[in-house]
Amino acid sequence: MLETLASYLPYIMILACIFMFLYYMGGDDIIFFRRRKYAVDPNAQKSLMGAVNKFARMRDFTVMGPTTLEFDGQLYSFDAILLSYYGTIAFKTVPFAGDVYGDADKDEWVRIFEGERKNFANPVKASSGSVRLFRDIYRREKVKGGLSETMIVFTNRDANVAVSGRLPVCHVSDLNAKLTSTKFIADNNADIPAMKRALEKYIKR
């Protein structure tokens, strides 16, 4: 039995080498290696929360999950909120696949996926009112809130984000590096427990 198996060993090794060579050369372009690509990430929320919680645990920060705040008659929804000594970082996910191009000044950004080009609203501009929201809540509640920022996070593994690194935009795989930049780990004397209590007063039930 062993002798029979040993006689086939060279052929098995040759097939394994061919398999590895094809994967190295073709990867996703070869049908039996191809993984399924999703136009919309079905696990966007899970991916974001995993990345934010991992960052927060190492620093004893507070994370609020999907939250809708009602303030002065308007609703503001976020996929996650991080409370740190920097202040408040609110997150919004973009689950789409494709190559993404845009800049701060344009009203629309471009997404190209599988040869199809689509425009969508500039997510940075769309969320610009959130910074004022947190500032106004903390001021009304007399809380030391530090600074505020809204981060746009692309979660689809087939998304390539080609925007300026100065913008609060990144892929979820780069979120930890984005958050550990000097800006977001600065100590602005924000009162994390008080900030959380203040925000909880305005959660839309």
Q: Which residues pair with 154 in a beta bridge?
A: 94, 171
Question: CATH no. for residue 112?
Answer: 3.40.1350
Containing structural domain, residue 174:
44-200
Q: What is the pLDDT of residues 54-64, one digit of tens each?
A: 999 988 899 99
Q: Which H or E run includes 63?
A: strand 62-64
Asked if residue 134 and residue 72 are part of one domain, the reply reads yes
CA distance 47 to 155: 7
What is the mean predicted confidence (pLDDT) over 57-78? 94
Asked if residue 107 and residue 9 are part of one domain, the reply reads no
CA distance 181 to 164: 15
Closest by Cα among 130, 100, 126, 132 to 113? 100
Q: What is the pLDDT of residues 162-179, one digit of tens each?
A: 998 889 999 999 999 999
Q: What is the pLDDT of residues 5-16, one digit of tens each?
A: 456 556 666 766
Measured from the Cβ of residue 98, the count of other Cβ atoms closer than 10 Å reads 22
Output the pLDDT for position 34: 46
- Cβ proximity of 114 and 174 under 8 Å: no
Output the pLDDT for position 17: 61
Asked if residue 26 and residue 50 are part of one domain, the reply reads no
Q: Which two tokens stand for residue 74?
A: 């308007």
**φ, ψ (nearest 5 deg) of residue 187:** -95, 105
CA distance 184 to 147: 9
Output the pLDDT for position 181: 82
Asked if residue 149 and residue 120 are part of one domain, the reply reads yes
Mean pLDDT of the chain, nearest integer: 87
Asked if residue 109 and residue 88 are part of one domain, the reply reads yes
Asked if residue 68 and residue 20 are part of one domain, the reply reads no
Q: What is the pLDDT of residues 105-154, one digit of tens each?
A: 899 999 999 889 999 999 999 988 888 999 999 999 999 999 999 999 99
Q: How many residues does the chain have?
A: 205
pTM passes above 0.75: yes
Residue 180 included in any domain: yes
Output the pLDDT for position 56: 94
Asked if residue 117 and residue 60 are part of one domain, the reply reads yes
Residue 132 included in any domain: yes
Asked if residue 124 and residue 29 are part of one domain, the reply reads no
Asked if residue 113 and residue 76 are part of one domain, the reply reads yes
Q: What is the pLDDT of residues 29-50, one digit of tens each?
A: 444 444 456 788 999 999 999 9
Asked if residue 85 and residue 9 are part of one domain, the reply reads no
Q: Which amino acid is at 21?
A: F
Residue 24 included in any domain: yes
Asked if residue 98 and residue 20 are part of one domain, the reply reads no
Output the pLDDT for position 176: 93
